[in-house]
Structure 1
Amino acid sequence: MKYFTLLLILISIDVFGQDKIPTNDGDITITPITHGTLVLEHVNEVIYVDPYGGAELFSKQKKPTLVFITDIHGDHLNQQTLDGLDLSAATIVAPQAVADQLTAGTGMKVEVMANGQTKTINGIQTEAIPMYNLPETSDSRHPKGRGNGYVLDLGGKKVYISGDTEDIAEMRSLQQIAIAFVCMNLPYTMDVDQAASAVVEFKPEIVYPYHYRGTDGLNDIDKFKALVNEAAPDVEVRLRNWYQ
């Protein structure tokens, strides 16, 4: 009977991919969806990050109260996916460039945030963090100021969502991050070495590499884990399957 119960638990973890991280006032539940898309639950808030890949991927999720969108590209702002979701109770949090492209009526309301701005939204202290490519050029895929990364305070745990960025100074200078979702995928974000180097500098308690679909070693999450663990053994690297 114990074996059967354990088997069911393992199957559930494999199917739903959820992690639970305790905070001062309840667990944060983390569900990887795909690529740069995830769901966070804490207390009464259900947070969708960059909903993408079709509404059917969210069929087993609770309806969102908050939707964070980082940038205008289709794997972050995906209107087709948004149109298939029940956003009747959801506030959309986004940079101005995203808000300008949202179809009227998407979500209950839209809360626009600029780089460096801090707001309390649904009781969650939220900071918009710059995300951009280096060097800063006029033809950059991600120019500084257009998109947002985010730091959310959930029950006293700071959660960092990188969005599409390189290993910029603003990320390296982050402090007291409990959970970080860090991208790696050239030419849009970082290679494995850059991502690991940045994580080693700001030292989150837990890091999830995400948004790592790529070729020629760009998706080598095992290498990422080895590099981080060698230089910062106290950082827990959690590898999850974002591309089922």
Structure 2
Amino acid sequence: MLRTFFISIVLGFLTITTALAQLNNNPDRIETDEGELVIHPILHGSIIFEWNGQTVYIDPWGQAGLYDDKPAPDIILITHPHGDHLSPETLASLDTESASFYVPQAVADQMPEEFLGQTTVIANGETMEYEGITIRAVPMYNLPEEGARHAKGWGNGYVLTMGGKDVYVSGDTEGIPEMRNLQGIDIAFVCMNLPYTMDINQASDAVLDFEPAIIYPYHHRGQDIQEFKKLVDTGNKDIEVRLKNWYPR
């Protein structure tokens, strides 16, 4: 019986690995009222957006080669201070000379000094503008809140408005009320990895509540995103689930 159980685990792992190997991380292009929004899936929780001559980096992390062929950032948004989101090593490898950083206070407290002059602190509930891009900071936290790895107010999720499209990036969170109550989201990036955020069941349940037009599962190491897609498809076929390779070799 133990041998059968072990074989079933191995086969399940191989199935997930094979499915992920068939995905790509090529950029997606989405029309907005002011030209294309180009979405680059980079690694884990790292994303790049290009729109209207502006380039936005979200939580840049990973080796420099991942960014070699990408435009230099105009905006860098960081969700919280954990090392796979705030990476001084990755920041040092980028051309950040003209970049403006928007971060929660907890990130500003740990930012390398060389970037502090370019950094603006933005807290949950605040909204700022940069060259036609609206940046709204929203909560991200674990449930229950007491003793959580990610406490309420410590980090930010973000809603970016670009050319009439509202893009939600969850940061490290669970299916919190503030996520479930979002309205009018065109594109969403929602995390799912235990034990740090949530599993695919909680993530899909939250997505079905706020009903984005397009959902990308990201920051999902170890989770079965094919099954996540099935859960969302079963609950609401009008939500388009896009699966990308967030863990390129």
TM-score surpassing 0.5?
yes
The reply on whether 1:68 has 2:77 as its aligned counterpart is: yes
1:118 equivalent in alignment to 2:122: no
Between the aligned partners of 2:116 and 2:35, the Cα distance in structure 1 is 26
Q: Distance in 2 between matches of 1:158 and 1:107?
A: 28
| Cα distance in 1, alignment partners of residues 67 and 131 from structure 2 | 22
1:124 Cα offset (Å): 1.2
* TM-score w.r.t. length of structure 1: 0.90
- Report the counterpart of residue 100 of structure 2 in structure 1: 91
CA gap 1:15/1:130 in 2 versus in 1, 3 angstroms: closer
**Going by fraction, where is helix more abundant, 1 or 2?**
2
Q: Which runs of 4+ in 1 moved over 6 A?
A: none
1:41 aligned partner = 50
Secondary structure of the 2:160 match is strand
The Cα shift of 1:122 comes to: 2.9
Aligned to 1:11: none
Contact kept in structure 2, 1:178 and 1:205, CA below 8 Å: yes
Report SS of the residue matched to 1:82: helix
**1:182-221 equivalence runs, <5 A:** 182-214=190-222, 219-221=223-225
Structure 1: gaps of 5 or more residues:
1-13
Pairwise CA RMSD of aligned residues?
1.2
The 10-residue stretch of structure 1 (101-110 or 67-76) with the greater mean CA deviation from structure 2? 101-110
CA distance in structure 2 between the partners assigned to 1:85 and 1:108 by the alignment: 17
Identity %: 52
Q: How many angstroms does 1:55 deviate by?
A: 2.0
| TM-score (ref. length: structure 2) | 0.88
Say which of 151, 162, 177 aligns to 1:169.
177
Give the Å deviation of 1:16: 5.7
- Residue-pair matches, total: 226
Q: Which amino acid aligns with 2:170?
A: S
Matched position secondary structure for 1:152: strand
Higher relative contact order at CA 8 Å, sep ≥6: structure 1 or structure 2? 2
CA distance in structure 2 between the partners assigned to 1:233 and 1:15 by the alignment: 23
